[in-house]
Amino acid sequence: MSDLVHRLRLIVAEPAAWCKTDVEYVEDAADEIERLTAERDEARREVCFLLSRNVTQGCDGDTPEFHATARGWCYLLEEDDE
């Protein structure tokens, strides 16, 4: 990942010198960002579900949705349209 970040910073430093390889690096970066975003979202879902099961059992509003919304992650629990 750090190598990818380094390559991107070099590309940004000299945009006039872009070549075909640079486009491939940008595509690799987009793929990595997509993968990491999915991984992060799954971890956030797990946090919300675990909190809803472990924090004050039986409390009204203690749902995964409650914990997601409290953190501004409300989109995480929606079904993917893809």
Q: Where are the domains of the chain?
A: 2-77
Model pLDDT, residue 82: 41
Residue range 37-55: mean pLDDT, rounded:
88
Identify residue 30 by its one-letter amino acid code.
A
Distance between CA atoms of 5 and 7, rounded to whole angstroms?
Answer: 5
> What are residue 66's phi and psi, to 5 degrees?
-60, -50
Structure tokens at 2: 């750090």
Model pLDDT, residue 36: 92
Contacts of 4 (CB under 8 A, 6+ apart): 25, 28, 29, 32
Which percentage of the chain shows pLDDT scores above 90? 17
Give pTM, 2 decimals: 0.67
Do 45 and 77 meet the contact criterion of CB atoms below 8 Å apart? yes
Distance between CA atoms of 67 and 10, rounded to whole angstroms?
Answer: 40
